[in-house]
Amino acid sequence: MAVTSTATTTWLIRGAFRALAPSHPLHRNTALSFYRKPSSLLPHITPLRNSALGICHLAQAMKGDVNDLLKGIGDRSIVEEVKHILDMAKRASSRREVLHTDFLTPPTLKESIRLLEKLADIKVVAQGGYPQAERCRLSVGHPDTLTNDPDIIAALSITGNFAFQTCSHGDFLGAILGAGISREKVGDIILQGDKGAQILLVPELVDFIMSSLDKVSNVSVSCARIPLLALEYEPPRTNTFKTVETSLRVDALASAGFKISRSKLVDLISNKDVRVNWTTITKNNTTLKTGDIVSVSGKGRLKIGEINSTKKGKFAVELIRFL
């Protein structure tokens, strides 16, 4: 869907309501040159490079059966969503279409890309707006059809007087969702301190947000569209250290990583305040592995680094704490 400055009010409202309604994460979008001129055509054997616009990944797939591939997904809660993405990718390839998802959570994104690599004649581009984006949209199609980077990400700057009332990620997200917008239509939110925040979203909602969002918490705000290259972000700051534990259970590693007691961590798990790879866990004996991300409400995030066995049968684990 393309949005222009000459769109009529009726058309805008109708388009906004279509965008607000919950939908399957895949939908057709043929507006491939809305923000910027398409990049040069690339032969399908040439992968797209990462860029400031957030091209996360481009894969060419090999043959595979969807149902067999789904059996390998560790997180069963995302199976159906990934299945739809795989089915639609195959359909897009056979029909020579280009289809786009809404914003996907990191687990769904990771599994979808991993499995799409095993399907024949499919190319996939993931974009989140900037290189470190966690929530990304996928574009899928045949290599002969998906020949440039689709323009499917927009950015807004939300500004106000936040000097006396700093608003959190949840405050900004709550204000946006409170306008009736579905979560999958919104990507990352980049906090800017007392300047406000920058948000990534689907292009068709830009005008709606600019005209309807006037407050975040108790702070009056104004919204302006900005180019993706104007996004202000910094690489995450981390603190890396090692711990030696008798097991790789989440209660052992997370308590060491966040420097809280094991019993306190168990209580947080019981209260559903702990997530592994963005999925809430309920069992404190969940086993972790290298690359897993542990999130604890009010504490932040922790990444599991290299794991080695010690001579005494314990585990020396590298922990990376996001500051």
Please state, in angstroms and rounded to a whole number, the distance separating the CA atoms of residues 145 and 122: 10
Please state, in angstroms and rounded to a whole number, the distance separating the CA atoms of residues 186 and 271: 27
Tell whether 228 and 271 lie within a shared domain. no
From 216, 234, 252, the end of a domain falls on 234
Tell whether 171 and 272 lie within a shared domain. no
Tell whether 203 and 150 lie within a shared domain. yes
> Are the C-beta atoms of 92 and 139 separated by less than 8 Å?
no
- Which of the four pLDDT bands, split at 50, 70 and 90, describes residue 23? very low
Tell whether 141 and 222 lie within a shared domain. yes
The H or E element spanning position 222 is strand 219-226
Please write the tens of the pLDDT for every residue from 142-182. Answer: 999 999 889 999 999 999 999 988 898 889 999 999 999 99
Please write the tens of the pLDDT for every residue from 229-278. Answer: 999 988 778 899 999 999 999 999 999 999 999 999 999 999 999 999 88
Q: Count structural domains, the chain.
A: 2
> Are the C-beta atoms of 305 and 290 separated by less than 8 Å?
yes
> Which pLDDT value is given to residue 59?
39
What are the tokens at 82? 């990934």
From 217, 234, 251, the end of a domain falls on 234
Tell whether 146 and 218 lie within a shared domain. yes
Tell whether 196 and 279 lie within a shared domain. no
Instruction: Residue 286: give its domain's CATH number.
Output: 3.10.290.10
Please write the tens of the pLDDT for every residue from 77-99. Answer: 788 899 999 998 999 999 999 99
Instruction: Residue 139: give its domain's CATH number.
Output: 3.30.70.330
Closest listed residue to residue 106, CA positions, set 78, 141, 84, 130: 78
Give the global pTM: 0.66
The angle subtended at Cα 298 by Cα 315 and Cα 82, nearest 5°, is 70
Residue 18 belongs to some domain of the structure:
no
Q: Check residue 100 and give left, alpha or beta (phi > 0: left; psi -120 to 50: alpha).
A: beta
> Which pLDDT value is given to residue 286?
92
- DSSP secondary structure code for residue 75 in this structure: -
- Which of the four pLDDT bands, split at 50, 70 and 90, describes residue 38? very low
Residue 169 belongs to some domain of the structure:
yes
Tell whether 139 and 206 lie within a shared domain. yes
Question: Would you say residue 16 has pLDDT above 80?
Answer: no
Average pLDDT over residues 130-148: 93
> Are the C-beta atoms of 111 and 117 separated by less than 8 Å?
no
